[in-house]
Amino acid sequence: MAKLIDGKAISAAVRAEIKENTQKLIADTGVTPGLAVIIVGTDPASQVYVRNKRLACTEVGFYSEAYELPEETTQEELEALVDRLNADEKIHGILVQLPLPKHLDEHSILLRISPDKDVDAFHPYNVGRIMIGDYAFLPCTPAGVMELIRRSGIDCTGKECVVVGRSNIVGKPMAMLLLQANGTVTICHSRTRDLAEVTRRADILVVAIGKADFITGDMVKEGAVVIDVGMNRRADGKLTGDVDFASVEPVASYITPVPGGVGPMTITMLMQNTLTAAKNTLK
Ligand code: NDP
């Protein structure tokens, strides 16, 4: 039976540390970390994420601003807001909630955010810094996974690490962080031949594909650490991961549940990045 990696408990511990460090920063320097969150349109899931991000800011003692812009916002209006926030000293992190409505050019908006305030770490400048291992921020979800691994006492050194999924926000940076932690890393995707043959080699298996219960027990090596990034809604509205928990849990040594695994870490790492951004302004 696998040990459960409790993302809620680990997230609470990290947030408590962030809160303490924030109080210290304010006391020592008078600087309060500030996060601006921009949402365009009325996507209900995005609205929930934005609300949770603001609540997290309050919890750790940050200043926050939320911009809820109408669906018909133009590229120029959004760019003008980003420019204004780039110049605002109270704001250390800017987050544009994705996806943006189709008429807006997501890539050019992300490029517009100052790399120093890019707390999602999506700007090509920050992506490049991650490649060379000299970074200010890490993308929140992969950073959260690494925190779960580290705080569970798991050492990646020399381990076979398999990442399933190669998106820019999860799979690719995830692979880079496991590499920097001295894992031997393989990335799989939809064109991988014989996926199960590769996943069965993994000592540490990270799954981020967006397909409910896709990885089953027969695809996992006995004693593997299994991290499930997936978040899928079942027909009954329940949240489920990319890993079939029932068949994988008896085989794995550690496993993250969904919900309550990777999910809670993502916003926590956003708070961490905002604190780092605030501290970096003092350098
Ligand atoms: P994307 O859709 O951007 O990428 C999915 C990746 O999975 C692609 O690289 C794709 O391959 C690969 N893939 C799809 N089907 C298969 C298959 N049958 N076999 C092998 N690989 C496959 O998704 P994201 O990376 O954005 O998200 C992945 C999951 O993680 C989603 O469920 C999402 O909701 C969740 N997520 C959770 C977060 C959290 O906070 N917990 C944060 C972000 C995402 P190819 O490139 O060849 O198409």
Name the DSSP class of 31.
P
pLDDT of residue 1: 86
Number of the ligand 1 atom closest to the C-alpha atom of 258: 41
What distance in angstroms lies between residue 21's CA and the mean position of ligand 1's atoms?
33
Evaluate: CB of 189 within 6 angstroms of ligand 1. yes
Q: How confident is the model at residue 210 (pLDDT cuts 50, 70, 90)?
A: very high
* Contacts with 67 (C-beta within 8 Å, 6 or more apart), sequence order: 36, 37, 38, 39, 81
Which ranges of the chain does DSSP label H, i.e. alpha helix?
7-29, 44-60, 75-87, 106-112, 124-131, 140-151, 171-180, 195-199, 245-248, 263-280
Burial label for 133, CB within 10 Å (0-12, 13-18, 19+), is exposed
Query: In DSSP terms, which residues pair with 160 in a beta bridge?
Result: 184
Helix and strand totals (H; E) in the chain: 10, 11
pLDDT digits (tens, 9 = 90+) for 76-127: 999 999 999 999 999 999 999 999 999 999 999 999 999 999 999 999 999 9
| Catalytic annotation present for 97 | yes
45, pLDDT greater than 90: no
| Catalytic annotation present for 8 | no
pTM across the whole model: 0.97
Query: Taking each helix axis from N to C terminus, what angle separates 124-131 and 171-180, rounded to the nearest 10 degrees?
Result: 30
Distance CA 204, CA 112 (A): 36
| Helix then strand then coil, % of the chain, to nearest 5 | 45, 15, 40
71, pLDDT greater than 90: yes
